[in-house]
Structure 1
Amino acid sequence: MDELLTDQALAAAARELAGRAGYNPGFLGVPVPIPELPHVKTVLLPYTHFSVLMRPDKRLAAVTALGMDGKKLMDLDRAGIQWRLDPRLPEDQQTGERVYAHNDIDRGHLVRRASAVWGDTGAEAAQANEDTFHYTNAAPQAAKFNQGIELWLGLESYLQENAADNSRRIVVFTGPVFGATDPVYRGVTIPLKFFKVAVFLQGGKLGATGYVVDQTPQLADLPDVPRPGVTDEAPPLGPFRTFQVPIRDIAALTGLGLDQLVAVDRMPIASTLPSARVTETWRELHSPEDLDLDFDLGQ
């Protein structure tokens, strides 16, 4: 398995990754830096078209940052690509195959594979395709959650196709929402919720929208996973339901520095009810048409 690579092979893999440019904060033509996580040790790992800000204490990402160029997307398959550890980070600071073996837990891509696979050449797109299969870009997700949440996976494509100008580019930040009731499984925290923030230009101005999805009930059904602390009663958000949420709520839940994006949140209720409690103004989504935005996606 990947964990048994020789020192020589690990060194070669590290040299190859050393040239990765990672996420470009100027991708939209307006600086949009990767959100920081104050007072927590993090490690930034660049890949092709995206970067991962790792939390060694959790062995998972705090946030991933992707620049997606919709005009250059390519349709490549994943056949033959294996998940691998990142040799730039000690093994005990990232997840590996042991967490995902012999259970119903998926290696859930944080940076969506299809959104990263673009480039001026097929080689560039293929490199991005392979880069998404590092364990640093994975998080433990119930199989039903990962495989069945089509709306969650499709949000960034929908916004890229309908809301973003500037040559149809979009930036996507994604990551876990760590909470006190998250179960620990094989030494790794399994987040009950995940967030996504999409950033784009609309009419030449920066805009952003935020989303949260919940996998609590699915994890409670896995036989070897400790039951989350909230399973005494139905979780308030229900099974893998997707919500549009104020970005300020994501900042409050994660501790990430999202002030720039809070200020340009295109969810109207974010500005009309600035003092609302976290979760109070979340909007359930059944399809992209349910999005509540202060602009017309058709423009």
Structure 2
Amino acid sequence: MMRPSLNDLTAFVAVATHRSFRRAADELGTAPSTLSHAMRSLEDRLGVRLLNRTTRSVSPTEAGLELLSRLQVALTSLDEALDATTAFRGNVAGRVRINAPRVAAAVLVRDILPRVAERFPDVTVDLVVEGRLIDIVSGGFDAGVRLIDSIPRDMIAVPLPVPMGFFCVASPAYLDRAGEPTTPDDLRHHRCIGHRMPSGRLYRWEFERAGQELTIDVNGPVVLDDEELMVDAAAQGLGVAYVASWAAEATLAEGRLRTVLSAWMHEPERVAVYYPGHRAVPPPLRAFLDVIKDVLVQSTSRTGGTALQTSQGQ
């Protein structure tokens, strides 16, 4: 049997991952009909059906799923091997496009980008701030940032060094005036700063304690769609805000805010940079990821913790 070409195997991974000839063709810069013909040739060469096709959908067969899982690992290893030659080609240069929610983008700017600029001065990080979840491949991004649990399984995830939790916060002046809530139900009698999600709906505040979960609708004097503005509004005494820990840490450290209902907040969650596992990793993205991994290792060694796996499903 003649060994399939790397191009055919890469095309198969794209089709099987997207489950669409059109989307795979858009990514690879070819025509869907060309991909369809290539997949039939690949199946003939291997002597096994890899894809189930209908007029509306494409899905991997059992053999296709097995091949897909092995090829994703192999192609990632190949990319890493090729990237290892970067040091011998001179400085890494180019642009890496990252999609991230605002609060995560602020952490990248504070903790990661200065190190990227120092180690890789010819790499430009094009950071696009967006609250809604998008398809980073069709959006033209090299990578995105999400909570690890929400990252698609066909992506590779590199955790950021610090997990993100959520705080209920209010200014000392507001708490002196209105009293401190001791249970989430007490919030019904407080002025709360609403959070409008990118979808347009109002966020329902979520709490958990000893296995008991509560979801609360709140009311108050203002509704905002930006966490930093919510922190500022709380610091100005407008009421209680429910915000990401990353957004509130500096204001809490200054004493302009206090946390409330700490015993009812969920455990912090890991956030990761993620990128497609079936395509070559450009050197600028690899440089960006290497910095994140180095910061993660340094953070882990300081805390004595254990780094998370950097690949979904491992």
TM-score, length basis structure 2:
0.23
TM-score, length basis structure 1:
0.24
Question: Per chain length, whose mean CA-contact separation is higher, i.e. which structure has more relative contact order (CA < 8 Å, sep 6+)?
Answer: 2
Greater Rg by CA: 2
